[in-house]
Each structure stands twice: as C-alpha cells, then as structure tokens.
Amino acid sequence: MAQTINIAVVSVPVFSHQASMIEFCKRLISLHQHIHVTCIFPTIGTPTPAITTLLESLPSTINHTFLTPVKNEDLPQDVPPFVQVQHAVSQSMPSFRNALRLLCSTSPLTALVVDAFADEAFELTREFNLLSYIYLPSSAMVLSMLLHFPSLNDKVLCDFKDHTEALKIPGCIPIQGNDLPSDLQERSNLAYEIVLECCKRFSLADGFLVNSFSEMEQDTVRALKEHYTGSNKASIYLVGPIIQTGSSSESNMSECVRWLEKQRPNSVLYVSFGSGGTLPQKQINELALGLELSGQKFLWVLRPPNDSTEGAYLVAAKDDPLQFLPAGFLERTKEQGLVVPFWAPQTQILSHTSTGGFLTHCGWNSTLESIMLGVPMVTWPLFAEQRMNAVLLTEGLHVALRPKFNENGIVEKEEISQVIKGLLLDEKGNEIRQRIEILKDAGVDALKEDGSSTRALSQFAIRMENFQGNP
C-alpha cells in the first residue's frame, strides 16, 4: 500500500475560488486515497452560507480549518475587491503559519497548494520545506497571460486599454488590450502592481494545477509547456474540467426546477452574473426590456443595481432586487420568465433539459459548467479575467455569441433581444450546440480513467510520492 502523503491547500476568501479548490481536493482524494488533504481558508468576517454548505459536503477524509477572520473594517475601503483579498491574505499570514506549524507537528507535510492569488503563502514553503503548487481556477490561456505579464509590462509602454495592436501570447488567440483582466488595463489601478508582483513570484512554484483540459486548449498548453516548463522546470498539470457536483444552495431549487419542468426542451435562457456580479440600474432596465422583447423564456438571477460590476463580490447586497425592475415588467412577463433574487442552484438549472442557453458573465466556473452541461452561451463579461474567457468562447471555441456594448458601455435592448434569438432560434445557435456537445464529450473523456486530466493528477501524485524534501 502506498505511503500516506499529507498536503495542505490554501484558498482565498472568494466563494468561486474556494468552491473550485474544494472540488479539486475531492477529485484528488477520490483518485489517490493515500493523499490526505487539509483545506485552509483565510476569511473576511464570517464564512458565507454558500461556503459552509459546500464544506458540509466534504468527505470526512478532507479536513478544513478557517484562519482567524479578518474584519471587513480592517481592510482598505474603496479599493478593488482583488486588493481587499490580498490584504486579507496578508493579514492572515501569522495565523496561517501557526496552522501549518500545528499540522506539521502531527504529521509531516509534503506539499502546499495555494490559490493563484494567495501566493504570498509561498514564503512558507521554504520555511517548512515543502513542494509548492499553484492552483489556478481558470484557463490555460489565463495562466499563459499571467506568466507573460512581466514581459508584456516591459514591452507595452501605454495602458493596455489604449494599446491598439492585438497582444500575441504564444499559443493563444490574439487578444486586444481592453480584453485583458480589468485590473490590468490601467497601470494606475491599485491592483496592477500587486498582480505584477504575484506573476513574478510564480517562478518560485514547483508546478501549476490548472482547471482546464488539454483537448480544449491544445495550442496554448503546447506553447506553455515549450516556453515555460523547459527553462523553469515547473510542471503544468491540466486537471479539469472540475465543476460543482452538487448545489451550493438549495433554497431556490424547488421553485426554479418546478418552473423549468413546465417549459419546452431547450427553450429557456438562464441569466446569471456569478456569485457577485452586478449591473448598473440603466443596464438592468435594458436587460429586462431586451429579455421581454426577445419573446423567449428566461430564468434570471437578479441582484440590486450597483455602479461597480463587482459590487456584491465580497459584500452581499441586501435590498430586495425585484423592486429595481422596470415598472410593470414582472406582471407583463409572468408567463415568459422567472426572476430569482440573489442566488439560484446553477448546476441544476444548467443540467435541466428545458435550459437552452446561458447568458453568463463568463466566470470560469460558470464557463466550465456550461460546457460540461452542454449549454450554448451568450457572453457578458464584467470583471477579472472574464473578457479573456469571452474571447476564448467566441473566437477560439465558437461556442458562444458576444453582444456589442455601445459607446457608454451599455448593451441595448434591441441588441440583447437579437443575440438571444440568434442563440435560441437560429441555425447559428444549433451549430453552437453541436460544437459544445463535442467539447463536452472531450471534457468527459479527459476525466475518464485513462483521460488526460486523470493522468495529469497521477503525475502530480507521483511527484509528491518521490519528494525527498527540498535540499
């Protein structure tokens, strides 16, 4: 019997990152029972119900611990959420060191797997003599961009949002400067330098675990392995597609599913902007009117308006969102759609036969869930790396349609209606459905016993088994 290997994983206080990390751990130990995992979570305030529900689903073989919570009022205000998350990670470092010390005192640890944005925790891998891995809950294209970012930063002298030539990252679809992650578009953004430092620290990693699969990003993966692993000896493991296996909140399930049960197959557009995406009031109005104008069935998860697109990312909104809909909208569309406040059981909705399309903010978890549940998409990126995901989905994989924003950054109702009808009624929607089915099959194959992701996880496990301690 293989010797027990103990590893610790550390996430960041962001639901979608924690959820992805947890699913990764579940898959790892289901394939390699001799690996014991402890999940360590820095937190801001008290953990959200969504994350506590997820933790309740953990098998008893995965331990978890919350670090001493950082108080929201101790974080800098009026800064991008990414900067707040970084502060929370920094403030959690003493408590993290204690947690590691405690773990090591009971059983020797082999490796630390850190979320890409908790990379400050890397400092401790040397101190504790551990292998260090980065878990990236995102695409190989994003990893490529992050690894090249220090050199892009040197080459491009203006702000990326003003850079008119497409950026060519080896193996990736050329990308416009204004499709880079939102925090990287302007050098004056407080997050810019932090991300740059973070990317430089990536060179300290022994390897990267990426939630994607080789078959979906072949050229990118090939280029990454050629350009990166060659010189730095870091391994890149494509371990996805890892998606939520159960609902993270059951509260709205019966209502959503009951409503979907009454609809025709592939007839409903599901509309959601992830765990914290928000729209300004004007855009909520246009979206409501666009949905109505399309005449198509819809299931819309709605939050109160916010002028920031990441308005509810770290702090949940409380006002009743329904009061912000245009006058008479709910009455007029009562036979056409269902509006669900705040949260819905996304994977159940996407896996329902009535769901025929997903208007998504292109968070990576939502993207993979849509692919693996075979649902064509309309891309509506808001923040973080979501514009890059939208480019991959539309120009790279051709499994989504991308509506146009006007010069004021608003998608108008006519455009919304047209894109929805294109996806649900036109031939191009059918073609997308066929392509996404092929991609889904490739994803399913990657997870099979001899599939690429399963093999990648085995290589990761072997690397840990052979680890004799850093010299």
Please give the residue ranges that form the binding site for ligand UDP (CB under 6 A): 16, 19, 244, 248, 272, 274-277, 301, 343-344, 346-347, 363-366, 369
Tokens 């050329």 belong to: 174
Q: Which is nearer to ligand UDP, 246 or 295 (CB)?
A: 246
Compute the least distance from the CB of residue 349 to ligand UDP, in Å: 8
Compute the least distance from the CB of residue 342 to ligand UDP, in Å: 7
Residue 329 CB contacts under 8 Å (≥ 6 apart), including other chains: 288, 289, 292
Compute the least distance from the CB of residue 368 to ligand UDP, in Å: 8
Q: Which is nearer to ligand UDP, 80 or 274 (CB)?
A: 274
Cβ atoms 249, 49 nearer than 8 A:
yes
Compute the least distance from the CB of residue 365 to ligand UDP, in Å: 3
Residues in the chain: 471
Single-letter amino acid, residue 283: Q
Q: Which is nearer to ligand UDP, 275 or 417 (CB)?
A: 275
Q: Which is nearer to ligand UDP, 16 or 235 (CB)?
A: 16
Cβ-closest position to ligand UDP: 363
Compute the least distance from the CB of residue 232 to ligand UDP, in Å: 28
Tokens of 117: 């944005």
Residues marked active site are found at: 17, 115
Q: Which is nearer to ligand UDP, 389 or 418 (CB)?
A: 389
Compute the least distance from the CB of residue 350 to ligand UDP, in Å: 8
Q: Which is nearer to ligand UDP, 16 or 48 (CB)?
A: 16
